[in-house]
């Protein structure tokens, strides 16, 4: 029965599959982007500790100079605030988001590219066929 299928039906099925592949790739890229936005938010935005209400700068901008130097310019209160800031930021969550986002972006980019190329080549072939007539 498969030999009786009209070429237009085969063409439509091919285009539908390529369109789905492209849509899945786009969706995966969006999810990866959301993971990266979450990780960037955790890394760059200031926050307040849960205990003692200490205002902390984002970890990317945190000043840690003299934290580990016992005879350094920081007093005990400043060291305690820096330690509270470091303890209150949950690092596994943004790191996990980055680790999940990387393969999603790779798979999404591959799927989107494969779908786009398949559709573009099919369109190119159709244009060549029409030009030969």
DSSP 11-22: HHHHHHHHHHHH
Question: Considering the domain boundaries, does residue 93 fall inside one?
Answer: yes
Please, which contacts does 118-121 make with residues 24 or more away whose CB atoms are closer than 8 Å?
Answer: 118/14, 118/18, 118/21, 119/15, 119/18, 119/19, 119/22
Q: What angle do CA 127, 129, 133 make, to 5 degrees?
A: 115
Total domains, the chain: 1
Q: Residue 119: give the domain boundaries.
A: 6-132
Q: What is the pTM of this model?
A: 0.77
Question: Considering the domain boundaries, does residue 84 fall inside one?
Answer: yes
Q: Pick from 20, 6, 85: which is nearest to 46 by CA?
A: 85
Question: Considering the domain boundaries, does residue 116 fall inside one?
Answer: yes
Burial 13-26 (b: 16+ CB within 10 A, else e): eeeeebeebbebbe
Give the largest Cα separation in the chain, rounded.
86
Cβ–Cβ under 8 Å, residues 97 and 40: no
pLDDT one digit per residue (tens) for the chain, 133 residues:
556 888 889 899 999 999 999 999 999 999 999 999 999 998 888 888 877 788 887 877 776 665 555 566 667 777 777 778 777 777 888 899 999 999 999 999 999 999 999 999 999 998 998 898 7
Question: Considering the domain boundaries, does residue 127 fall inside one?
Answer: yes
């Amino acid at each position: 029965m498969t030999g009786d299928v009209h070429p237009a039906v085969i063409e439509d099925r091919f285009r539908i599959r390529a369109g789905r592949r492209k849509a899945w790739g786009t969706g995966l890229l969006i999810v990866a982007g959301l993971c990266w936005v979450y990780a960037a938010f955790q890394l760059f935005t200031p926050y307040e500790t849960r205990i003692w209400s200490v205002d902390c700068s984002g970890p990317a901008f945190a000043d840690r100079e003299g934290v580990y130097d016992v005879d350094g310019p920081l007093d005990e209160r400043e060291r305690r605030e820096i330690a509270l800031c470091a303890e209150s930021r949950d690092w596994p969550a943004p790191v996990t988001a980055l680790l999940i986002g990387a393969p999603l972006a790779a798979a999404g980019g591959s799927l989107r590219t494969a779908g786009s190329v398949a559709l573009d080549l099919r369109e190119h072939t159709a244009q060549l066929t029409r030009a030969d007539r």
